[in-house]
Amino acid sequence: ELTSAWVDLSETEEAIERGYREAHRQSLRWGRKNIRIERTDLPDSRLIAEYEYVHHAGRRIPAVTGDRLSLFLSMGRMTLYVGYFEDRPVVTLLSSRHGHTTYYWASAKLPVGNKPIGHVVLHQAIMDAKAEGKRLFYFGLLDMVGNYGGKSRNIALYKSGFANRIETIIHYI
């Protein structure tokens, strides 16, 4: 059992935000005051280096290498977001665009105590997709019951807190 989750971008910005889980809205308020966001749709060597830094400093394997990310950005199908806390890059997010849908691709963050550093960056990606005229912001298939372990369940709970549409499905592998 998996959950397909997305944001219907035909709703107003206010309605989309009201649909977030209450704890996510609180985290978003904190993030608006404390996180500065930069984004690029084009190859930007400084932001790509910050993307790689966040992954390596957090002992994470990047979803794509810097070279591949530069290629995807040059194709005009991807957006890179970097969030800064106290002028230090601490969170990155990748989204891709295909047709009328923006897809959440991957993100990574550095621990900053228990600060909710990623919420405002994801919210910005959702709002940018809406501004670009996309119909959906798609999170993919989420493991809400922990089929693949506790980490995948926690990721699913985080993403589903933004979704205003979910559908439980049976996924046969």
User: Which residues pair with residue 108 across a beta bridge?
Assistant: 92
* pLDDT tens per residue across span 108-123: 999 999 999 999 999 9
| Average pLDDT of the chain to the nearest whole number | 95
* pLDDT tens per residue across span 135-166: 999 999 999 988 888 899 999 999 999 999 99
**Distance between CA atoms of residues 163 and 8, nearest Å:** 8
Contacts for 123 with CB less than 8 Å, ≥ 6 apart: 17, 20, 28, 31, 162
* pLDDT confidence band for 168 (50 / 70 / 90): very high
The pTM for the full model equals 0.95
